[in-house]
Amino acid sequence: MTKYIYIFSIIGISILINQANALKCWRCSSDASGAAFCQDPFESDLVSEQQRRWSYVDCSFPPQAQLPYGQSANTRPVCKKIKQVINDKVVVSRSCSWEDVNASADACLRQNNPSYIKTEFCETCSYDGCNGATFSIKCWECRSDNDPKCSDPFDNSTLSITDCRQVQPKDHLPGVKATMCRKIRQKVHGQWRYIRSCAFIGEPGIEGDERFCLMRTGTYNIFLEYCTCNSKDGCNTALAVKKNVWLLVCCFTTVVLNLLKQH
């Protein structure tokens, strides 16, 4: 019995770790039935739990199945977002894709299409849920140590929202654009601080669900909470629920160890 518990525990932990590391992307098309949420801006509030299961998918599948003959095997999984005019109708599509590791984010924009299809926007990205972003996003930017209204509850009555396209690029992230909003809540030496800004990297919510945030704790009474979103302009205002994938792994491991002790 102990042997089987050990085997199943290893399998369970492996599944949790793979889920934490796998690239997940939105897969939908605005012209499909029941997929109005796929339009731009992306309406995550309209996504039901059932739609989320088949629209927010693992894109880390083997590339051999879809690479065209002669393409370099030096590829990576990415999320793709494309806006096209097809027979005079605007269609927004989001999907998984594979590309050469050296390809630019907008390389797909230069692909050839039939005359009745005009591609207005096409871009890839490589973090969870990134193709749920709007084509341009505006976020609140402030710090509570400079402006107390930046704390929770948030008061934006004296602030102007920031177009993230105008934010200065980061020197350590060449070519990376700010496509998300972020709210950071941190406690350092007993003092709470709130930081709201445009975000260049990270994952919107947890597994695409922006109601959840990542939580980190450390020594010396340090607490950090990262809430990232890209569903709509100004989304970094709200409170969210804390969640940590690795905390689930630890809890699962603890339960298994207790079972092993009983046997």
pLDDT at residue number 42:
82
User: What pTM does this model have?
Assistant: 0.53
The answer to whether position 119 is within a domain reads: yes
Paired residues of 183 in beta bridges = 196, 227
Of the two residues 2 and 247, the one the predictor is more confident about is: 2
> Does 144 lie in the same domain as 89?
no
**Whether residues 119 and 28 fall in one domain:** yes
Tens digits of residue pLDDT in 183-220: 999 988 888 999 999 999 888 888 778 888 998 887 77
Q: How many domains does the chain have?
A: 2
Domain-embedded: residue 215: yes
Domain with 172 in it: 138-229
Q: What's residue 170's pLDDT?
A: 86
CATH value at residue 182: 2.10.60
> What is residue 193's predicted lDDT score, i.e. its pLDDT?
94
Same structural domain for residues 93 and 175?
A: no
| 122 and 210, same domain (yes or no) | no
Quick check: is 259 in a domain? no
58-74 burial, b at 16+ Cβ within 10 Å, e below that, comes to ebeeebeeeeeeeeeee
97, part of any domain: yes
Same domain as 150, residue 57:
no
Q: Measure the CA angle with vertex 75, ends 209 and 12; round to 5°.
A: 45
